[in-house]
Structure 1
Amino acid sequence: MSTTVNVHEAKTHLSRLLKRAHDGEETILAKSGRPYARLVPLESTPARRKPGRVKGQVEDAFFESLPKDELAAWEQ
């Protein structure tokens, strides 16, 4: 179900419209009576990063210095 709201009303009630979008409702924003934009819920929220999630998956060689010739190639 979608609702059409004019831009002025959307500015006044943005928090309310965001809550409705979060609850799954689509809102059409209109300017001068014409559809202008759509406020929709996100498909899914990105997963939060968890520090240490890959602990033990990087080998010690990863932290060793590069060979001098390879390091020189990066510095050019």
Structure 2
Amino acid sequence: MNIAEAKAKLSELISAAEQGEEVVIARGGHPVARLVPIHRSTVRIGIGDGLVSRVPDFLTPMSEGELKDWE
């Protein structure tokens, strides 16, 4: 596809790329650019949000009962 045609159909080309298609754009009959989909990472940060209600403070000393539990 030449540049002028790509300008006129940019939203269509982006939709095609979202569907997994690869679009090659040419200038003067020579390929100069490639429009490809971006593969998004499936890693999600914060997946356990709300599952932990209380995080202990690890810097405070343990009570006598907690120390005995560890012995």
- TM-score (norm. length: structure 1): 0.55
Q: Distance in 1 between matches of 2:44 and 2:8?
A: 31
How far 1:43 sits from its partner (Å)?
Answer: 1.3
Amino acid at match of 2:3: V
* Residue 4 (structure 2) pairs with residue 19 (structure 1): no
Q: TM-score, normalised by structure 2?
A: 0.58
- The one-character-per-residue Cα deviations of 1:26-75 (angstroms, maximum 9, x if unpaired) are 0001011110000001112677877xx48866x6x8xxxxxxxxxxxxxx
Question: Which of 25, 35, 39 pairs up with 1:29?
Answer: 25
Change (3 A) 1:27 1:19: same
Distance 2:9 2:42 in 1: 26
**Which ranges in structure 2 are unaligned for 5 or more consecutive residues?**
60-71
Percent identity at matched positions? 38
- Find the partner of 2:34 among 31, 38, 43: 38
| Count of matched residue positions in the alignment of Structure 1 and Structure 2 | 56
Please report the RMSD computed on the Cα atoms of aligned residues, expressed in angstroms. Answer: 3.0
Q: Partners of 1:20 and 1:45 in 2: how far apart? A: 20
Pair member with larger Rg: 2
Gap regions ≥5 residues in structure 1? 62-76
